[in-house]
């Protein structure tokens, strides 16, 4: 599980990073300014956001968390020293997973992240792909549903535990789903060649036997030994 931290106090930042490591979680990124954090969060697409309420910038932690929740659909956990009822009520209105008092301990953090991911799995319906013959599908990016043409997708790669990237020739599209879930919905010419990769055989240019990589319009995907036989049986050889 990948966690992004928004915290401007170094002592608390380091304590949270230690708790993340002890909990066996992955640090997706960190930022100490609410105004700068949103773009970084959008680029890294973490599984969970840990955000302090009192932050420098035009935004504070509450407004940042609300923006992330509404536009990126990433669950958030507040880490703060505030106990005032008015501030807590404002924070609750953003639908946080938890409200952790500083200093954050490993057990509380681990429990909050597990709750976040359980809720996310229960509510997750990111991709709409109606059947194998479909040529397009829609995925939610921010507050928009974006159409993706399957013919343009070269490969799909896992990007964390609950995030994937669809690789097109000149760009990548991040989606909050799993490779396993997406593979069930893609046409048969998308095959798995690695634990973290699906490729579109319609775009396969070469297979490098020495390096065990499939190349699609300049993009490479590793072909794992356990998937090699199925892969080779799927391509037409003369």
Q: What is the mean pLDDT of residues 103-124?
A: 75
Model pLDDT for residues 193-227, shown as the tens digit of each residue: 999 999 999 999 999 999 999 999 999 999 999 99
Paired sense of beta strands 48-51 and 76-80, if any: parallel
What confidence score (pLDDT) does residue 91 get?
84
- 127-234 and 2-123 share a CATH fold: no
143 — pLDDT class (breaks 50, 70, 90): low
CB 196 within 8 A of CB 188: no
Separation of alpha carbons 30 and 36, rounded Å? 10
The residue that leads in pLDDT, 238 or 187, is: 187
Q: What is the mean pLDDT of residues 83-87?
A: 75
Residue 121 pLDDT > 70: no
Q: What is the mean pLDDT of residues 78-92?
A: 80
The residue that leads in pLDDT, 162 or 35, is: 35
Model pLDDT for residues 62-77, shown as the tens digit of each residue: 999 998 887 787 889 9
Separation of alpha carbons 74 and 143, rounded Å? 12
pTM, two decimals, is 0.54
Percent of the chain past pLDDT 90, that is, above it, reads 35
Residue 141 pLDDT > 90: no
- Would you kindly state where each structural domain of the chain is located, as residue ranges? 2-123, 127-234
Class of domain 2-123: alpha beta
In what side-by-side order are the strands of the sheet with 136-141? 127-128, 136-141, 144-149
Model pLDDT for residues 12-46, shown as the tens digit of each residue: 999 999 988 888 889 999 999 988 999 999 888 88
Residue 129 tokens, joined: 């792909």
What confidence score (pLDDT) does residue 182 get?
82
CB 53 within 8 A of CB 12: no
Cβ-proximal residues to 98 (8 Å cutoff; 6+ apart), any chain: 77, 78, 108, 111, 112, 115, 116
125 — pLDDT class (breaks 50, 70, 90): very low
The residue that leads in pLDDT, 211 or 124, is: 211
Q: Per the omega criterion (within 30 degrees of 0), is the bond before 117 cis?
A: no
- Give the three-class secondary structure for 79: strand
- Give the three-class secondary structure for 45: coil
Class of domain 127-234: mainly beta
130 — pLDDT class (breaks 50, 70, 90): very low
Residue 10 pLDDT > 80: yes
What confidence score (pLDDT) does residue 238 get?
43
């Amino acid at each position: 599980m990948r966690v992004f931290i928004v915290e401007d106090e170094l002592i608390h930042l380091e304590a949270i990073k230690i708790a993340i490591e002890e909990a066996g979680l992955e640090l997706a990124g960190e930022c100490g300014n609410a105004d700068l954090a949103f773009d970084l969060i959008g680029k890294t697409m973490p599984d969970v956001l840990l955000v302090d309420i009192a932050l420098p910038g035009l935004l504070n932690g509450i407004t940042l968390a609300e923006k992330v929740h509404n536009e990126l659909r990433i669950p958030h956990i507040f880490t703060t020293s505030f106990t005032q009822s008015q501030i807590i009520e404002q924070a609750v209105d953003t639908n946080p997973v938890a409200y952790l008092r500083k200093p954050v301990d490993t057990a509380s953090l681990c429990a909050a992240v597990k709750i976040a991911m359980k809720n996310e799995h229960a509510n997750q319906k990111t991709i709409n792909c109606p059947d194998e013959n479909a040529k397009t599908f829609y995925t939610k990016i921010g507050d928009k549903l974006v159409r993706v043409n399957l013919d343009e997708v070269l490969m799909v790669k896992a990007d964390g535990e609950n995030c994937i990237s669809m690789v097109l020739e000149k760009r990548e599209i991040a989606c909050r789903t799993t490779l396993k879930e997406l593979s069930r919905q893609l046409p048969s010419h998308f095959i798995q060649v690695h634990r973290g990769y699906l490729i579109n055989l319609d775009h396969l240019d070469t297979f490098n036997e020495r390096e065990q990589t499939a190349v699609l319009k300049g993009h490479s995907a590793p072909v794992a030994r356990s998937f090699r036989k199925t892969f080779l049986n799927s391509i037409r050889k003369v």
